[in-house]
Amino acid sequence: MPTIALEIIQQAYIYLAEKDIPNYFSLMSPNVEFYQTEALPWGGEYRGLDEIQVFFSKIFPLIDSSVEISHYIQAGDKIAAIGKTIGSAKLTGKKFSCNLAHIWTVEKGKIMRLEVYIDTDAMNAALS
């Protein structure tokens, strides 16, 4: 199961890179939860696939970005993905490169939770 969990997360990043949100969602439990600090315009706690769509409807109009994962750390059903998000803010045109840590929880072959931690100061500087 641990190897399968890592493969699921790696596939999630492939779908995100391709902007293939329907297949990205197919990896998730219907009760999935996302968390990101409310210090960002799209931040907050989102529960369920409908609310995850709200998360993306807030973030996609504001930034054009890609995620580059340098390495993974697996601890049981949790996987930390360490890397950067690189791109530009759509309203300001400012470029950003923010360090990130994504903490994923996978249970029974489905993504149950994603906690997103990025360099919030760098992102807000690009947004303003």
For domain 2-127, the question of CATH label 3.10.450.50 is answered with yes
Domain regions of the chain by residue span: 2-127
Task: Return per-residue pLDDT of the chain as tens, 128 residues.
Answer: 447 899 999 999 999 999 898 999 999 999 999 999 999 999 999 999 999 999 989 988 999 999 999 999 999 889 999 999 999 999 999 999 999 999 999 999 999 999 999 999 999 999 99
Of 6, 17, 22, the C-alpha closest to 111 is: 6
Neighbours of 30 (CB within 10 A): 9
Neighbours of 81 (CB within 10 A): 23
